[in-house]
Structure 1
């Protein structure tokens, strides 16, 4: 979950860009936040 926590510490402009990237994604930011620990533990 370290990567997700780092993203949450971005400045406002960067967070807005992050929200824009996830707004139309197949995996919405809210789902990504809930699954962050599991996703980051996977060996993709």
Structure 2
């Protein structure tokens, strides 16, 4: 079981016309972990 908690808070005081860009890589990381798990299962079952 993979439990993931992602909390993000951005506070800008006394700022106007400020754009904050955050890149979320959690999805890519989760996909990579799933692929690795799937590959490990396939190898363990001698399918590959």
- TM-score, normalised on structure 1? 0.34
Higher relative contact order (CA 8 A, sep 6+): 1
Instruction: Choose between structure 1 and 2: higher helix proportion.
Output: 1
Higher radius of gyration, 1 or 2 = 2
- TM-score, normalised on structure 2? 0.32
